[in-house]
Each structure stands twice: as structure tokens, then as C-alpha cells.
Structure 1
């Protein structure tokens, strides 16, 4: 049985800006992809204040938005993609696809719509517990996706080894 698709986005948020900086998503076979995102100039604040975000790193190492959207179209067409429900993921996805004048090829839904036997608070507690047990840094998007994959496997939603 194919694995549900998951997505997690790391982002920059200051008083006057919000934009994605890195993203990870899972594939049908449970493998993951992760990218650093090169920001659109439109996303950058006039005053240049990005908090602790290294803009030079994003610009040098980041994937251009057109490449990112092309890959998402290939990997997640007509899918429901589940997120932890804590971040402004829909807004961030809209920013990515609006920057290249496209529509997202997938729908975003919270993990609570996939794992319906547990309430949102219990799901978040379990996600945090898995991150701790696996000694994973919660701010890395690939770790967020991995924890969601582990939760789905625990619930019997797919039977691949991770």
C-alpha cells in the first residue's frame, strides 16, 4: 500500500515578512526529498531584516522556485498532502506557486484528517515524542516529515520499512 504524502516547510517570519526557506516532502514509497528554497525578491523586506536567516546561503544553495514547482508537480500531482497543522503551510505553498504564476497541484490537509482516531493535541504530543525518541531536530523539515511517516506507519496506513 502506498504511503500517504507528507510535507513540512521551514520558514522565515518577522514582523513584516513570511516566506519559505526549506521544504521536505515524502513520496509514494516513503522516500523523502528536501530542498533549500531560493527566495523570490518579492518576499524580501525593504529593511533587509530576516532575523537569523542567512540570505546569502538561501540565494547560493537554494533551488529556484520554477524548479521546485516543477518537481512538486511531478511528485505530488492530484494528491492530498498532509502536514502537522502547526505552521502556515497553505500560505507558504500559495507564496511558492503564486511567485511562478501557477496553482499548486495538490491539496493540503492536517494530519488529523488522516489519523482520525486521535485528537490534534494527542497527535502533536506523539509527533514531538517521536522527534525526541529519534533524536531529531524539530526545525528541520525532513525530520518533521519523517515523524509524520512514522506516525502513519504506526497507524497501519502503509507497510513500508523506514
Structure 2
């Protein structure tokens, strides 16, 4: 049986720019992939102000966009991928795929579309509580995906993690 898929994106947002810096997603077996994203030149602001984002780290450690989109195509084809619904995930996914002149091979939906018994605020409160209980840093995308997996498991959508 294929498990629901989850995704979380860390991003840089300044007055002049918004772009993804790291992404994590779950696979059909509940495993996760996480990558730092090498930014496209067009994403970078003219003034070079990226707040507290380390551009050198992104450029040196980041996965090229073509490689990232290839992996996403392999791992998430024709899937509905669930996100926490708080971040501009659809915009960030569009940025990734439009930079390589492709369309995303999956649809993004908020976790509330998977878990019907709880309202959005309750889901977010529980997600934050899980992050805290597990001692996870909320800004890391792999922790965001793990919290969504735990939430889905609690609600009976996953057998084992």
C-alpha cells in the first residue's frame, strides 16, 4: 500500500525575493529525502540582501534544480502531496519547476484535505506540539515532513513509521 506523501520547503523571504532553500518529501514507504537547493540566479535580489540565508552554503551544498526536479518527477509522479498549509508552498514549487521550464508532476494540498476530522487550527496546534515533543527544530524541512507523518499516523492514515 502506498502511503500519503508529504512535503515541506524552507525558504528565504526578503522585501525583494522569495525562493526555496531546502526541501524534504516523503516516499511511498514512509522514508524521506531532504536536499539543500542551489538557487537560480533569477531568484537572487539585486541588492544581494538575503537576510540570514548563507548564499555560499546554498551554492556549495545545494542540489542543482535540474537534478532536484528529476528526483521529484521520479518520487512523486501523479501524486497529491500534503503540506502544512502555512507556507507559500505552491509558489515555491512553481519557482523550482519554472526555472527548468517544467510543470510539477504532482498536486499540492493542505494536510486538512487528508485529515478531515480536525480543523486547520487544531491540526497546526497538534503539528507544533509534535515538533516540540520530539525535540525537532521547526525550520528544518525534514522535521516538518516528519511531524506531518506523525500527525497522519495519529489520525490512522499510516500503519507504521
Q: Aligned partners of 1:79 and 1:138: how far apart in 2?
A: 25
Q: CA deviation at 1:2?
A: 2.4
Q: Which residue of 2 aligns with 1:155?
A: 155
Counterpart of 2:49 in 1: which secondary structure?
coil
Q: Aligned partners of 1:137 and 1:55: how far apart in 2?
A: 21
What aligned pairs does 1:9-158 form with structure 2 within 5 A after superposition? 9-158=9-158
TM-score with structure 2 setting the length: 0.99
Q: Aligned partners of 2:158 and 2:137: how far apart in 1?
A: 25
State the number of aligned residues.
Answer: 161
Structure 1: unaligned runs, 5 residues or longer: none
Counterpart of 2:149 in 1: which secondary structure?
helix
Task: Kindly provide the CA deviation profile for residues 91-142 of structure 1, in whole angstroms up to 9, marking residues without a partner as x.
Answer: 0000000000000000000000000100000000000000000000000000
Structure 2: unaligned runs, 5 residues or longer: none
Kindly report the root-mean-square deviation, in angstroms, between the aligned alpha carbons of the 2 structures. Answer: 0.5
Q: Is the 8 A contact 1:22 1:36 kept in 2?
A: yes
Q: CA deviation at 1:158?
A: 1.8
Q: CA deviation at 1:3?
A: 1.6
Q: CA deviation at 1:6?
A: 0.2
Counterpart of 1:78 in 2: which secondary structure?
coil
Q: Is the 8 A contact 1:2 1:158 kept in 2?
A: no
Q: Is the 8 A contact 1:10 1:22 kept in 2?
A: yes
Counterpart of 2:158 in 1: which secondary structure?
coil
